Amino acid sequence: MIKDRGQKALALRLSVSKRWLPQMEVEIEPSRRLDKSKYLLTDIDVLAVAPSAVGGNTRFVFDCKSSPRESAIGRAFWLNGVMKRASAAHGFVILNEKIKINQDHRISAKDLGITLLHQTELDDLAQGLGADTAPSDAALANIDLWDTFIGIPQKYGNLSEYHDFARSGFWMIKDSGEQCRKTLLKIRSIRSELDPSKTEHIATFNDAVSLFLLSLSELANELFLVLLRPQSQEEFSSSLLAFLYGGYEQLETAHKIRKITSVNPDEATSLFPEMKRFEHLVREILQAPQQALPAALLAKELALGNLEPAGFEKNEKFANQIIRESPYTAKFVLLASEYLQKSSKIPVEFHDLLANECLKLMGNTLQNKKQNALSILL
Question: How far is the C-alpha of 160 from the C-alpha of 169, rounded, in Å?
Answer: 12
Q: What is the pLDDT of residue 378?
A: 44
- Contact of 48 with 60, CB cutoff 8 Å: yes
Q: What is the pLDDT of residue 315?
A: 67
pLDDT in tens, 314-349: 668 999 999 999 999 999 999 999 999 999 999 999
Residue at 314: amino acid letter: K
What are all long-range contacts of 338-341, with beta carbons under 8 Å and residues at least 24 apart?
A: 338/277, 339/212, 339/274, 339/277, 339/278, 339/281, 340/184, 340/187, 340/205, 340/208, 340/209, 340/212
Question: How far is the C-alpha of 124 from the C-alpha of 109, rounded, in Å?
Answer: 18
Q: What is the pLDDT of residue 77?
A: 96
The model carries a pTM of: 0.92
For residue 167, what are the contacts with CB-CB under 8 A and spacing of at least 6? 23, 25, 26, 27, 150
Question: How far is the C-alpha of 160 from the C-alpha of 309, rounded, in Å?
Answer: 23
Residue at 142: amino acid letter: N
Question: How far is the C-alpha of 285 from the C-alpha of 270, rounded, in Å?
Answer: 22
5-136 is a CATH 3.40.1350.10 domain = yes
Question: How far is the C-alpha of 143 from the C-alpha of 9, rounded, in Å?
Answer: 6
Q: What is the pLDDT of residue 367?
A: 66
Return the domain boundaries, the chain.
Answer: 5-136, 140-370
Q: What is the pLDDT of residue 310?
A: 72
Cβ burial of 164 (10 Å; 0-12, 13-18, 19+) is middle
pLDDT truncated to tens, each residue of the chain (378 aa)? 677 889 999 999 999 999 999 999 999 999 888 887 878 899 999 999 999 888 789 999 999 998 888 899 999 999 999 999 999 999 999 999 999 999 999 999 999 999 999 999 999 999 999 999 999 889 999 999 999 999 999 999 999 999 999 999 999 999 999 999 999 999 999 999 999 999 999 999 999 999 999 999 999 998 888 887 777 888 888 889 888 998 877 887 777 777 776 666 554 446 789 999 999 999 999 999 999 999 999 999 999 999 988 766 666 899 999 999 999 999 999 999 999 999 999 999 999 999 999 999 988 777 666 555 444 434
- Contact of 58 with 50, CB cutoff 8 Å: yes
Q: What is the pLDDT of residue 311?
A: 67
Closest CA to 25 of 49, 2, 50, 57: 2
Q: What is the pLDDT of residue 314?
A: 60
Q: What is the pLDDT of residue 269?
A: 47
Q: What is the pLDDT of residue 376?
A: 43
